[in-house]
Structure 1
Amino acid sequence: MKALVMTAVKHLEVQNDYKKPTPKPNELLIHTAWAGICGTDKALYNGLPGSADAVPPIVLGHENSGVVAAVGEDVEGFKVGDRVSVDPNIYCHKCYYCRTSRPELCEHLDAVGVTRDGGFAEFFTAPAEVVYHVPDNVSLEAAAVIEPISCAMHGVDLLETHPYQNALIIGDGFEGQLIAQILKARGVREVTLAGTVDEKLANNQKHFGFKVVNNLKHPEEIAKDGYDIVVEAVGLPATQEQAVEAARRGGQVLMFGVGNPDSTFKVNTYKVYQKQLHIQGSFINPYTFEDSIALLQSGDVDPLPLISNILDFAHVEDFVSGKLGNISKAIVKVAGEDA
């Protein structure tokens, strides 16, 4: 089968004779339709950690949709031809964190497209426990990004949301844009999206009605002490510090952006005390696929206007190496809707 293989750090290779996997008794074989490309894939390509370490040779691709091609002998509830999406994160169910209802912190995390072959291939396998049916009114293209929606959902789940609140999302990457939609769906009164790409900001204002601010050109438009909820979705010290400054008294700051492992930021500890801030991190997506699918099914979240680039295997390296810029969201068409 055809696959895009990371044979070494900073090297991807299209192979036409990669061995087609065989599902274990508890697994499904999935014919890939679409595979999203994530900032985590950029990190893994550059030798940085994602949810776990990716050791070459490996087929990346942890955001996937497809059609069931074969069913392991112990699997129930699925049949060949079912349209599905896959939560890549596989928990051990045995460690301290799994046994205390915090599986996202699992000490033995396994992940499709990170520690085992993923969706940058014509076929991949996954345990049935992490595979979800896709509703008829949701396209496989949209279903390929249920995983990033579910990560955004987990972040929002960690917040206490109310209709009276106003929210600021710093960062116009795909996750920041999704978080803005989910907060709006949760009934938050006013959502402001701050970013650096005018085209992305205008697109979000047009499709979803968000207030928008170009954080490079007009940072003064972001009010200090002005927001009940501030989501930092960039991962840079400057925007992390800005997030703390922007939160009002009693505010919540969600540090969602993935920073460099060696980065730090300064925080005025008196302001954290005096404003009684709640500062929260967010990691992956524990059991948020069902809610994410429901948001897609209802239309309360629509990722399709955010997808800016459809690539083939040969051009994925252009994206993860940084040759392609100003991308809202890129996905790989493997078999497409014909899977």
Structure 2
Amino acid sequence: MKALVLTGIKQFEIMNRDTPFIGENEVLVNTAYAGVCGTDHDLYAGRPGSAPAVPPIVLGHENSGVVAAVGSQVTNVKPGDRVAVDPNIYCGQCEFCLTSRPELCDHLSAVGVTRDGGLAEQFVAPASVLYALPDNVPLKDAATIEPISCAVHGVDLLELHPYQKALVIGDGFMGQLFAQTLQAYGVHRVDLAGIFDDKLERNKALFGVAGTYNTRRERIPEESYDVVIEAVGLPKTQSDAVKATKKGAQVLMFGVGPQEAHFEMNTYDIYKKQLAIKGSFINPHTFRDAISLLASGKINVAPLISHEFELDQVQDFLDGKVEGVSKAVVKVAA
């Protein structure tokens, strides 16, 4: 099989590899599509994602495909099933797994991060992380279920009500997903701040976003929002997120910034406004909700997928040689 192997920092090599062996509780998947996201940029550059990736490794943690073979103990899927794969695998035994916080697992492993993933024609995953797809969900769209599930986990951490007014800061793929997810969860008004007029206008025209701010020329109003989701990860936008809050508001810090980055905020405002500021990490037990949102049409990803690459084009993308990308997926097999 053909595989795109990360062999070192910013080094890829297309290799021919043997078909992976599957254990009794594992599944062999013929990859259809693999999404490429900010985590892959970090892993490619030698930075950790949900965990460090140690070369040689096949990246690709946002995967869809068709079951090729199953182990002797597998009962939830069968050969020929169209599936999406939750990359995250928990130990089930550490303090965090045993206290219903598996996303913080001390021994977290992940398809496409710590074990070979979907940037290959075939990969292996535990049966427990495979989800059969409804007939109306295309395999291309299904490659975005993992990021949708991360957005679902983020909103699950918040206390949401229809009366609330929400702001998403960041018009990248995750910011646009959050704008749709908040509406799917019943928030009556969602605004979006970003830096690209075309993305901001698209979200107003197609996805029900009420108001937009291009932060290159407009200021986000302060003390205006009940819920603010920061989906950029820069100190400036993190500070803006806190400033945008009303009394009693909630802030979700979702954007992943540099590990050494810090931002400043007025700690008295946290007290005076009774703010709740939360982080959000990966996607525990949210895959079924993500699939349902996609299948029902409450989340529409097709207009957000701007580029479809082949395996040999991935490195150029991660090197920043491709402009205007909203969301990129890799077509691995027919």
Give the TM-score range, shorter chain.
Answer: over 0.9
The offset of 1:39, in angstroms, is: 0.4
Look up the SS of the partner of 2:40 in the other structure: helix
Look up the SS of the partner of 2:155 in the other structure: helix
5+ residue gaps in structure 2? none
1:14-33 CA distances to partner (integer Å, 9 max, x unpaired)?
Answer: 12x12221211110000000
The offset of 1:326, in angstroms, is: 2.6
- CA–CA distance in structure 1, aligned partners of residues 279 and 332 of structure 2: 34
Q: Is residue 212 of structure 1 aligned with residue 229 of structure 2?
A: no
Match of 1:13 in 2: 13
Given candidates 273, 298, 308, the residue that maps to 1:300 is: 298
1:192-247 CA distances to partner (integer Å, 9 max, x unpaired)?
Answer: 1111111211221121121221111212xx21000000000000000000000001
1:43-74 CA distances to partner (integer Å, 9 max, x unpaired)?
Answer: 00001110000000000000000000001111
Given candidates 326, 329, 332, the residue that maps to 2:327 is: 329
Q: How high is the TM-score relative to the length of structure 1?
A: 0.97
Look up the SS of the partner of 2:192 in the other structure: strand
Q: Is residue 64 of structure 1 aligned with residue 63 of structure 2?
A: yes
- CA–CA distance in structure 1, aligned partners of residues 50 and 98 of structure 2: 19
Look up the SS of the partner of 1:272 in the other structure: helix
Identity in percent? 61
Does the CA-based 8 Å contact 1:197-1:326 persist in structure 2?
no
Look up the SS of the partner of 1:260 in the other structure: coil
**Mapping for residues 133-172 of structure 1, pairs under 5 Å:** 133-172=132-171
Match of 1:33 in 2: 32
Does the CA-based 8 Å contact 1:227-1:251 persist in structure 2?
yes
Q: Is residue 233 of structure 1 aligned with residue 231 of structure 2?
A: yes
Match of 2:268 in 1: 270
- CA–CA distance in structure 2, aligned partners of residues 81 and 134 of structure 1: 11
Look up the SS of the partner of 1:12 in the other structure: strand
Look up the SS of the partner of 2:322 in the other structure: coil
The offset of 1:77, in angstroms, is: 2.2
Moved over 3 A (4+): none
Kindly provide the amino acid, as one letter, of the partner of residue 30 in structure 2.
H
- CA–CA distance in structure 1, aligned partners of residues 33 and 3 of structure 2: 13
Given candidates 250, 253, 256, the residue that maps to 1:252 is: 250
Given candidates 317, 320, 324, the residue that maps to 2:315 is: 317
Match of 1:197 in 2: 196
1:128-185 CA distances to partner (integer Å, 9 max, x unpaired)?
Answer: 0000010011111111110000000000100111110010000011111101101011
The offset of 1:274, in angstroms, is: 0.7
Look up the SS of the partner of 1:199 in the other structure: helix
Match of 1:95 in 2: 94
1:78-108 CA distances to partner (integer Å, 9 max, x unpaired)?
Answer: 1110000000000000000000000000000
- CA–CA distance in structure 2, aligned partners of residues 123 and 91 of structure 1: 22
Does the CA-based 8 Å contact 1:35-1:332 persist in structure 2?
yes
Q: How high is the TM-score relative to the length of structure 2?
A: 0.98
Does the CA-based 8 Å contact 1:90-1:130 persist in structure 2?
yes
The offset of 1:314, in angstroms, is: 1.0
- CA–CA distance in structure 1, aligned partners of residues 213 and 269 of structure 2: 24
- CA–CA distance in structure 2, aligned partners of residues 325 and 235 of structure 1: 20
- CA–CA distance in structure 1, aligned partners of residues 299 and 98 of structure 2: 32
Look up the SS of the partner of 1:177 in the other structure: helix
Kindly provide the amino acid, as one letter, of the partner of residue 321 in structure 1.
D
5+ residue gaps in structure 1? none
Look up the SS of the partner of 1:213 in the other structure: strand
Does the CA-based 8 Å contact 1:27-1:75 persist in structure 2?
yes
Kindly provide the amino acid, as one letter, of the partner of residue 193 in structure 2.
A
Look up the SS of the partner of 1:285 in the other structure: coil
- CA–CA distance in structure 1, aligned partners of residues 318 and 285 of structure 2: 28
Look up the SS of the partner of 1:217 in the other structure: coil
Kindly provide the amino acid, as one letter, of the partner of residue 225 in structure 1.
E
- CA–CA distance in structure 1, aligned partners of residues 122 and 102 of structure 2: 27
Given candidates 279, 282, 290, the residue that maps to 2:280 is: 282
Give aligned pairs, total.
Answer: 333
- CA–CA distance in structure 2, aligned partners of residues 28 and 119 of structure 1: 13
Look up the SS of the partner of 1:323 in the other structure: coil
RMSD: 0.8
